[in-house]
Amino acid sequence: MSSIESRLAELNVTLPDAPAPAANYVPFVQVGNLVHISGQISQNAAGQIKGKLGADLSIEQGAEAAKACAISLLAQLKKACGGDLSRVVRAVKLVGFVNSTADFTDQPKVINGASDFMVAVLGDAGRHARSAVSAASLPFGVAVEIEGIFEIN
């Protein structure tokens, strides 16, 4: 068991199967030692986490939605690594989209749910460059979508 798998177990997180694409794209592309993972929407075992920050959801609920995206990112990364998370070197960049009202300005606090999770799982290798932006709407009405770039060996 890799140290990443051990840390996930300590956090009581089980990675789901990597979600299938919802349209005409691939879930990830590897270029050299970088894996570019397509946007992962906020969903968990109970289904999609929907709503608009600033209207329907609290910052804490948004952060949980972002964490769900991060879990899906790691599931895709595991698939990209042939099931071997010990190949992960570091998180390079996350780009987070928050379904929010025009006056909502706490997108960074929402995307912290994913960033904090990456650091909790990967340690210092989980620290990454990041963008956190607002979106007037997201696919299926979900609260958050996050894409990521990871370095592997």
The SS3 assignment for 25 reads coil
Give residue-wise pLDDT tens across range 117-145: 999 999 999 999 999 999 999 999 999 99
Tell me the two tokens of residue 110: 């929402």
Give residue-wise pLDDT tens across range 81-90: 999 999 999 9
Q: Where are the domains of the chain?
A: 28-152
Choose among 107, 136, 114: nearest CA to 41.
Answer: 114
- Selecting from 3.90.280.10, 3.40.50.10320, 3.30.1330.40, 3.90.1520.10, what CATH number does the domain 28-152 have? 3.30.1330.40
What one-character DSSP code corresponds to residue 138?
-
| Residue 72 CA from chain centroid, whole number | 6
Residue 1 pLDDT > 70, yes or no? Answer: no
Handedness of CA 59, 18, 9, 35 (dihedral sign): negative
